[in-house]
Copies of this chain bind each other. A is one copy, B any other.
Amino acid sequence: MKSIPEKIKIKDIAEKAGVSPGTVDRVLHNRGNVSEVSRKKVEEVLKHIDYTPNVYASALASKKSFSLLVVMPKYLSGDYWEKMEFGIARAAREIIDFRVSIEIIYFDQYKIDSFCQAMEKVLKKTPDGVLLTPSLKSVTCDFTCKLDQKKIPYVFVDSFVEEAHPLAYFGQHSHQSGYLGAKLLFTQKSDLQEIAVFSFFHVGQKPSNQISMRMAGFSEYVMEKRTGCKLHRVTLDAENPDQNEETMRNLFFGNKGIDGAIIFSSRAYVVADFLKKHNLNHITLIGYDLLDKNIVRLKDNTISYLIAQRPEEQGYKGIRALTDHLVFKKEIKPVNHYTPIDILTQENIDFYLEF
């Protein structure tokens, strides 16, 4: 039998440290007027007992308010980004008693200008903290330099930018998630010959930071293990379904040897729907993210695996990291909190609920 002890009292700490309770109190609240020797003794005891201050009571008593800004892609209901916002809203509800206001600035993820404008808005508002999806690497770096100068803490979600200095990152190791996509494709069908590799963006624009890194990971696996395999790289357009249909017709009907496909954006259903419509069920398809439309195609076996990255958790933890830092004065652990790379199949999808 084992007891998990209840909260230790100030007088217990004082006793262990051999100082007065008043001294402990002054150390805890950083009020000075304590000798270096006494401070060290108290701090050693606190460290030894893994002391946690009553952060709720302190924060409730404070009258300071905090403004957070979130910068994320705009979305339609059912899109990937909706889940990120669910997580943000959940965190917002939990901290509702602590005077934290959260505002979301949306941008068009397929337009570089729109992302730049969102950054400008943030700089004008000088918030206390920022949650940011670093959609394009170069633009992000220019922006975070300015946040660094103003000493405004920021947290990345979705994808990471090595050159920046965020308080924390919550998201996948995108390169490894592309590598795993390749591995699952070849596990599902070990003798694959030709693979269609899809990405999704406006023609003339750049692929996102996330998609570029996943592609690099996928390519690494193929280079390492399956150099004989032929890759067909294809771009679909976010706003042009007719053209996408045409692109896929040319691709799949013009290359009868294609027996595998992978798509690096969240819209795997676009490819899956095409395969289903044309009865191309000899093609093994791997996709990313749990949009409802993707899940339908996972369940009917058009998609063999979906790889998921917990967007709700990213949004939730991102906001909590900012508030833990700003409101509760907690130390935030090292910068990379990679979220798991979750593998979903027909068999486990029904039990995969974020939170």
Contact at B348–A180, with CB atoms within 8 Å?
Answer: yes
Chain A to chain B contacts (Cβ below 8 Å), 28 pairs: A1-B104, A1-B121, A3-B101, A3-B104, A4-B88, A4-B92, A4-B101, A4-B104, A6-B99, A6-B101, A7-B96, A7-B97, A7-B99, A50-B93, A54-B97, A56-B56, A56-B97, A57-B97, A60-B60, A176-B348, A187-B188, A340-B342, A340-B348, A341-B352, A342-B342, A342-B348, A343-B343, A343-B345
Nearest chain B CB to A127 CB, angstrom units = 12
Q: Which residues of B contact A351 (CB under 8 A)?
A: 172-173, 176, 338-341
Contact at B2–A104, with CB atoms within 8 Å?
Answer: yes
Contact at A106–B1, with CB atoms within 8 Å?
Answer: yes
Per-position binary interface string of chain A over residues 321-355, scored 1 when its CB falls under 8 Å from any chain B CB and 0 otherwise = 00000000000000000111111010110111100
Q: Which residue of B lies closest to A93 (CB)?
A: B52
Q: Give bound CA distance, A103 to B1, whole Å.
A: 7
Per-position binary interface string of chain A over residues 95-122, scored 1 when its CB falls under 8 Å from any chain B CB and 0 otherwise = 0110111111110000000000000010
Supplied contacts A2-B106, A183-B347, A340-B348, 14 more A-B pairs, CB within 8 Å:
A1-B103, A1-B105, A1-B121, A4-B88, A4-B102, A4-B104, A6-B96, A52-B93, A176-B351, A183-B345, A338-B351, A340-B351, A341-B351, A343-B345
Q: Which residue of B lies closest to A54 (CB)?
A: B97
Does any Cβ of B come within 8 Å of A179's Cβ?
A: yes
Q: Give bound CA distance, A100 to B180, whole Å.
A: 43
Q: Which residue of B lies closest to A59 (CB)?
A: B56
Q: Which residue of B lies closest to A343 (CB)?
A: B343
Interface residues of A: mostly helix, strand, loop or mixed?
Answer: mixed
Integer count of this chain's copies in the complex: 2
Q: Which residues of B contact A339 (CB under 8 A)?
A: 351
Nearest chain B CB to A62 CB, angstrom units = 13
Does any Cβ of B come within 8 Å of A89's Cβ?
A: yes
Contact at B341–A348, with CB atoms within 8 Å?
Answer: yes
Q: Give bound CA distance, A187 to B190, whole Å.
A: 10
Given A93-B52, A342-B340; A347-B3 close (CB under 8 Å):
no
Q: Please list the 5 inter-chain residue pairs (A to B) with the smallest Cβ-Cβ separation, ordered nearest first.
A: A341-B348, A343-B343, A180-B347, A4-B102, A4-B92
Q: Which residue of B lies closest to A180 (CB)?
A: B347
Q: Give bound CA distance, A321 to B352, whole Å.
A: 19
Q: Which residues of B contact A4 (CB under 8 A)?
A: 88-89, 92, 101-104
Per-position binary interface string of chain A over residues 158-178, scored 1 when its CB falls under 8 Å from any chain B CB and 0 otherwise = 000000000000001100100
Q: Give bound CA distance, A1 to B74, whole Å.
A: 10
Q: Give bound CA distance, A104 to B5, whole Å.
A: 11
Q: Which residues of B contact A340 (CB under 8 A)?
A: 342, 348, 351-353
Nearest chain B CB to A348 CB, angstrom units = 4
Q: Which residue of B lies closest to A94 (CB)?
A: B52
Q: Which residues of B contact A352 (CB under 8 A)?
A: 340-341
Nearest chain B CB to A318 CB, angstrom units = 14
